[in-house]
């Protein structure tokens, strides 16, 4: 392995030219999953930045910023003048094919400019051979990636959305391909081809976990939790690794050219955004990641890392001292009940949930007189990152091991609710849990029952039957504890580490918890109160509402609906102020609903 790494380093140096070979020889004493650093990359590239000019008519669902700016050109001109000496903020959109992403990030660009920020945007100009936009629906043939044919399929439409939307603002736009040299393109392709396939996930470059996000991107492309058995798995993983390397080289150069105070972009995982996260952090650029939240018009923003990680580590002091009132408790309980049918959300999975779970139980033979352990799954491919606290190597292992254990406990029953997002999510899973269970258990133990993803049975009604519920990464843990249901956490669910759940860090700890089943009681009243305080914080304070978005859009998830540019000024929208203050000043992304009031539609 060390010889292989030495050859990779030497080949990279030859491809990059003389400047890459300066300095001491590359060490071969690094872990086998690490490739030695590539130093002194050449900086001569094509023009680094463009400022868009004339804006053509745009696609439906995207904001016409040229028209919005025309509502008060004097205000915009003055803002641009003041922003010349303001803090530089990078909007790292890169992949602009999603209307939701460009709508949010272009609105942030305008609002930040009005607050004195010097805003730049980064877009991919057909430079990446694989990206977040590649999904089973948009790229059904993996051969498209193998043959480097993305520019012939989805790139034009993706790039056009970003070019139109940000072009209307007239702010600086960087193009990823223009930030790359030909030698860097050769290096990225060579390294992506030479790293052993079984080492891609653990591949590091200069201490950056490049391979983790490349591997997660490949899993997302196939919508599976493993690449084993995928005929094109290796070539697709290599394309994502190549994209990750290209993103590394381009973003490094951009941060060398411009001194950004903060960088903002969605999710912060996969390629390219997981790579951009690491490069920005290495360059001491404050990172802000965001995601669309469940509640209408709401978003979750996080400092320093993806929300997948930050909501696990958020200090309890952020919410446990809330001035709790009966009115606040009534508000969160009313919202949690609305989650049963999604009336106050724009992300939900059943339009007409069936609450008659007792009839369903009788049909499948579930004995309601005997204790039941509920088990809620996740989508197997989603956010396949490293979480130190996970008790099992992956969710599927956890599910199968739980079935084996309960199968030997005839005094208990196991009710598995498969996540409806397997078939109703943005990227439906190609690795169904039911099929995986059937493969491992051709005949299920008689005390194990499954609610499949297509079933309209209400998850909330089902868990109400259970003595306790085991979860891995689902957000439903916030609701379970608010219902007083004892909750066992074996993975990265955000409810862990809050003094509310039975948390397991390894299999032994998990099975010790299961040994105590049945618990025979609901959570203590004081603990339930604490759980509802956290639920209030999570749903009403961490989910920040922005009035400028209309959730009833026929052309996308939501559209920008402001009547004038002045609607984005400070003081007009408390939620937007929270987001901009957090980006510019590092303040917490917390909407103090206890002071502002709720803003549900």
* 496-549 confidence digits (pLDDT tens): 889 999 999 999 999 999 999 999 999 999 999 999 999 999 999 999 999 999
pLDDT at position 110 is: 98
Pairing of strands 118-123, 298-303: unpaired
> In this model, does residue 425 exceed pLDDT 90?
no
Model confidence at 550, pLDDT cuts 50, 70, 90, reads confident
Backbone dihedral angles phi then psi of residue 374, each to the nearest 5 degrees: -80, 155
| DSSP states along 93-111 | EE----HHHHHHHHHHHHH
Q: pLDDT value at position 43?
A: 34
- d(CA 550, CA 564) in angstroms, rounded, equals 15
**Which helix H or strand E contains 50, and what residues bound it?**
strand 50-51
Report the distance separating Cα 86 and Cα 113, nearest Å. Answer: 9
Which long-range contacts does 287-292 make (Cβ < 8 Å, 24+ apart)?
287/262, 287/263, 288/262, 288/263, 288/264, 288/582, 288/583, 289/264, 289/265, 290/104, 290/264, 290/265, 290/266, 291/266, 291/267, 292/100, 292/104, 292/346, 292/347, 292/557
Determine the pLDDT at residue 59: 66
Q: What is the pLDDT of residues 114-172, one digit of tens each?
A: 999 999 999 999 999 999 899 888 899 999 999 999 999 999 999 999 999 999 999 99
277-318 confidence digits (pLDDT tens): 999 999 999 999 999 998 999 999 999 988 877 887 888 999
What confidence tens digit (pLDDT) does each residue in 334-354 have? Answer: 999 998 888 888 866 566 778
**Which pLDDT belongs to residue 19?**
34
455 burial level (CB within 10 Å; 0-12, 13-18, 19+): middle
Asked whether 240 and 215 are in contact (CB, 8 A), the reply is yes
Distance CA 253, CA 256 (A): 5
The helix (H) or strand (E) run that includes residue 417 is strand 413-417
Look at residue 385 in the predicted model and tell me its pLDDT: 53
Q: Is the pTM value of this prediction over 0.75?
A: yes
CB 168 within 8 A of CB 69: yes
Euclidean distance between CA atoms 135 and 151, whole angstroms: 15
Q: What is the number of other CB atoms lying within 10 angstroms of the CB of residue 232? A: 17
Cβ(6)–Cβ(28) below 8 Å: yes
Q: Give the per-residue pLDDT at 263.
A: 98
For 292, list phi and psi in degrees, rounded to 5: -65, 135
Burial label, 50 (beta-carbon count in 10 A; 0-12, 13-18, 19+): middle
Confidence of residue 599 (pLDDT cuts 50, 70, 90): low
Q: Residues 364-388: what's their mean pLDDT? A: 81
Residue range 445-456, pLDDT digits in tens = 999 999 999 899
Between the alpha carbon of residue 520 and those of residues 350, 412, 459, the distances in Å are 30, 12, 21
């Amino acid at each position: 392995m060390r010889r292989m790494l030495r050859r990779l380093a030497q080949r990279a140096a030859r491809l990059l030219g003389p400047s890459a070979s300066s300095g001491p020889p590359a060490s071969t004493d690094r872990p086998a999953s690490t490739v030695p650093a590539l130093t002194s990359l050449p900086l001569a590239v094509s023009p680094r930045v463009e400022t868009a000019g004339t804006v053509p008519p745009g696609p439906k669902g995207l904001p016409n910023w040229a028209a919005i700016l025309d509502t008060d050109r004097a205000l915009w001109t003055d803002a641009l003048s003041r922003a010349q000496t303001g803090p530089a903020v990078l909007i790292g959109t890169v992949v602009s094919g999603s209307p939701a992403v460009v709508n949010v990030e272009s609105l942030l660009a305008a609002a930040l400019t009005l607050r004195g920020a010097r805003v730049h945007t980064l877009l991919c100009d057909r430079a990446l051979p694989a990206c977040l936009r590649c999904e089973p629906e948009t790229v059904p043939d993996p051969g498209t990636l193998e043959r480097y044919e993305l520019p012939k399929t989805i790139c034009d439409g993706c790039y056009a959305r970003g070019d139109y939307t940000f072009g209307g603002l007239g702010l600086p736009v960087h193009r990823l391909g223009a930030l790359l040299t030909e030698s860097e393109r050769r290096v990225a392709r060579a390294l992506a081809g030479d790293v052993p396939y079984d080492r891609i996930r653990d591949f590091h470059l200069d201490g950056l976990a490049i391979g983790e996000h490349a591997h997660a991107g490949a899993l997302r492309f196939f919508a599976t939790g493993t690449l084993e058995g995928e005929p094109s798995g290796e070539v697709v993983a290599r394309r994502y690794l190549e994209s990750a390397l290209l993103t590394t080289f381009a973003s490094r150069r951009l941060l060398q050219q411009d001194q950004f105070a903060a960088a903002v972009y969605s999710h912060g995982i996969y390629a390219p955004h997981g790579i951009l996260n690491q490069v920005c952090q290495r360059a001491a650029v404050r990172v802000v990641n965001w995601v669309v939240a469940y509640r209408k018009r709401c978003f979750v923003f996080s400092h320093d890392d993806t929300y997948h990680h930050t909501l696990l580590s958020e200090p309890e002091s952020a919410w446990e001292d809330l001035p709790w009132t009966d009115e606040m408790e009534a508000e969160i309980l009313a919202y949690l009940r609305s989650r049963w049918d999604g009336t106050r959300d724009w992300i939900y999975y059943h339009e007409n949930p069936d609450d008659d779970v007792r009839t369903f139980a009788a049909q499948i033979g579930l004995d309601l007189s005997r204790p039941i352990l509920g088990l809620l799954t996740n989508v197997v491919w989603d956010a396949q990152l490293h979480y130190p606290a996970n008790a099992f190597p992956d969710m599927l292992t956890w599910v199968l091991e739980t079935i084996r254990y309960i199968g030997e406990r005839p005094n208990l029953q196991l009710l598995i609710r498969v996540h409806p997002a397997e078939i109703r999510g943005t990227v439906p899973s190609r690795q169904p849990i039911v099929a995986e269970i059937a493969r491992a258990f051709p005949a299920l133990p008689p005390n194990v029952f499954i609610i499949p993803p297509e079933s309209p049975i209400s998850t909330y009604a089902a868990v109400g039957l259970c003595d306790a519920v085991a979860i891995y990464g689902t957000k439903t843990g916030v609701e379970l504890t608010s219902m007083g249901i004892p909750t066992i956490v074996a993975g990265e669910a955000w409810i862990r580490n809050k003094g509310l759940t039975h948390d397991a860090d390894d299999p032994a700890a998990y099975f010790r918890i299961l040994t105590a089943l049945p618990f025979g009681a609901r959570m203590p009243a004081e603990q339930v109160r604490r759980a509802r305080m956290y639920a209030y914080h999570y749903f009403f304070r961490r989910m920040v509402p922005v009035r400028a978005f209309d959730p009833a859009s026929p052309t996308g998830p939501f559209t920008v609906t402001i009547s004038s540019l002045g609607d984005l000024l400070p003081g007009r929208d408390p939620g937007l102020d929270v987001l901009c203050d957090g980006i510019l000043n590092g303040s917490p992304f917390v909407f103090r609903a206890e002071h502002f009031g709720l803003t549900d539609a």
